[in-house]
Structure 1
Amino acid sequence: MDTLCECGGGLVDALNTKIYGNGTQTIVLSHGFGTDQTVWQYLVPFLAYYFKVVVFDLVFSPNVDPNLYDPKKYSSFDFYAQDLICILDQLSVKKSIYVGHSMSAMIGFKAAIRRPELFEHLVLLSGSPRYLNEKGYNGGFRRSDLNSIFKDMHQNFTGWVQSFAPRAISVNNITAIAKFERSLGRMQPEIALSVAKTVFLSDLRTVLPQVRVPSTIIQSEKDIIVPKSVAFYMKRKLGGRARVKILKTQGHFPQLTAYPLLSHVLKRVLCTSE
């Protein structure tokens, strides 16, 4: 696993890492499936006023050389977490606030377990440790739902993107829908399917009690991908180290559709003593 760091500073460039602002504290923004670092475009100017902001593309992004994506290597969250750690090490970041959206929430957990000294606070936005329903646990999807998603992605990726994007956005925001549809549609279909299976079939519930870094879970009131109950499930498993903030909005992408509200919550969480 540590071989990824043998690239020296290469990973920083390969994943299109960018830094904004001149704050003394570093905040890292990590996007989710189907998007890239531009999903943070509305939040970066606000956060750069307070922090040094680090953004990058995950390895499956269409902005990254597709030869860097190894479906076997990235069949779990471990190498995604290792990429994150490598970037922080290569940038000489000793301590950071981490904001992970969707699958990147779990990437942050994995990285924080391995290198807790790198993180002073984890912000988990629309994240979930398990998407499949089980007895006593509502993850939001039945196995038949996921099988249908995987089948549609394989048979007609463009058609699936066009139907999935507005449902994930969930509000009548033409700009946000177009942005997500465009970024998701730019993924290579075979890479998109591989990543989707890794995400939707994962079960990281046993990881949660191992996290020792203080965390804030931020979730939309209604999200077809992650039920609100998942936020409170994670809080219970994280114990007293976590708190939950429910946004009075809908959809899986509040950083695109409700960024003034999200900015306000982030400011209260990170920039004050609340």
Structure 2
Amino acid sequence: MVLEKTLSTAMNAKIVGSGGEAVVLAHGYGGDQSVWDKILPYLSQHYRVLVFDWPFSGAVNNKDGDNLKLFDPAGKYSSYDAFALDLIALLDEFNLKSTVFVGHSMSGMIGCIASVKRPDLFNSLILIGASPRYINTDDYEGGFEMSDITQIISAIESNYHNWAANFATLAVDTNDPPSVEKFAKCLQRMRPEVALALAKTVFYSDHRDVIDKVSTPCTIVSTSSDMAAPKTVAFYMQKKMKENSNVEIMNTNGHFPQLTAHLELLDVLGKVLGLKFDHDP
């Protein structure tokens, strides 16, 4: 008989640090909680910080196909709603309310969806490189043409590990080779069939109708040049949100400022949190 894991155990969830307020760090496609390693020591000096791995992550135990049991490529995770429900269940398990949610990439929209379902769990949202839709339309600039996405999906299908190495170079600032290598290794730990199914979920998603339902105060963080989520997306999201939203443009490049420009990102977080982080924790 297989013992049922709690969600927090299955997702390698843990709370680091102490304090009255809680910060939640949620990684994006291809990553795991280690992408927050550079900023975690600073945040944990002031807050209880929840970090975890999404079920698709290569950091989740793959023994005997556990990862596939958690993340059924053809199952519930074909939409962001399932991830949002997992996030809600995880916060409930830790009895966390009024959190500061920091969501990177796809997790930004997951946090938005969760906040609409359970606004009591979120005091503020900080969305880094988030996008409600990646494909351009006549009245929306998402950053990719449909043909671009078709090529990405085809490349993942034909040679996932080769695609992962190339995508890491494009997504992360190439002036920071260690960060490129770190993300490439995270990507390559994912099961190819999981990576393919999730890529389809992410790149074909359209959650523009969620944005104007978000009532939680929101800060949308973008870098000067991000191939996955251009600055236009950040300003589109701000315009669609009814109130309590602002955009912060970081003077750096790439989709992973938590890896390549963590001190600048800390300055942005500190501005939102009303706190000045000592850059030498």
TM-score computed with the length of structure 2 as normaliser: 0.93
Q: Answer whether contact 1:8 1:90 (CA < 8 A) is retained.
A: no
Q: Does 1:49 align with 2:49?
A: no
Q: Does 1:92 align with 2:88?
A: no
> CA shift at 1:136, angstroms?
1.5
Q: Does 1:253 align with 2:256?
A: yes
- 2:266 corresponds to which of 263, 268, 271: 263
Match of 1:142 in 2: 145
Q: SS where residue 12 of structure 2 aligns?
A: coil
Q: Does 1:116 align with 2:116?
A: no
Q: Which amino acid aligns with 2:21?
A: Q
What are the Cα deviations for residues 204-231 of structure 1, in whole angstroms up to 9, with x where unaligned?
0000011110000000010011111000
Distance 1:79 1:221 in 2: 31
- 2:71 corresponds to which of 63, 66, 69: 69
Distance 2:266 2:205 in 1: 29
Q: SS where residue 212 of structure 2 aligns?
A: helix
> CA shift at 1:63, angstroms?
2.0
Deviates more, 1:156-165 or 1:113-122: 156-165
Moved over 6 A (4+): none
Q: Does 1:24 align with 2:26?
A: no
Match of 1:4 in 2: none
Q: SS where residue 123 of structure 1 aligns?
A: strand
Number of residue equivalences: 267
In the TM superposition, what are the counterparts of 1:135-214 in structure 2 within 5 Å? Answer: 135-214=138-217
Q: Does 1:81 align with 2:84?
A: yes
Q: Which amino acid aligns with 1:237?
A: K
> CA shift at 1:94, angstroms?
2.1
Q: Answer whether contact 2:215 2:242 (CA < 8 A) is retained.
A: no
The RMSD of aligned alpha carbons is 1.4
Distance 1:94 1:266 in 2: 19
Q: SS where residue 150 of structure 2 aligns?
A: helix
Structure 1 residue runs without a partner (length 5+): 1-6
What are the Cα deviations for residues 177-235 of structure 1, in whole angstroms up to 9, with x where unaligned?
11000000111111001111101100000000111100000000100111110000000
Bigger share in helix: 1
What are the Cα deviations for residues 75-111 of structure 1, in whole angstroms up to 9, with x where unaligned?
1001100110011000011221100000000000010
Q: SS where residue 240 of structure 1 aligns?
A: coil
> CA shift at 1:158, angstroms?
1.3
Q: Which amino acid aligns with 1:259?
A: H
State the identity as a percent. 45
Distance 2:4 2:130 in 1: 30
> CA shift at 1:239, angstroms?
2.6
Match of 1:40 in 2: 36
Distance 2:4 2:251 in 1: 43
> CA shift at 1:9, angstroms?
7.1
TM-score computed with the length of structure 1 as normaliser: 0.95
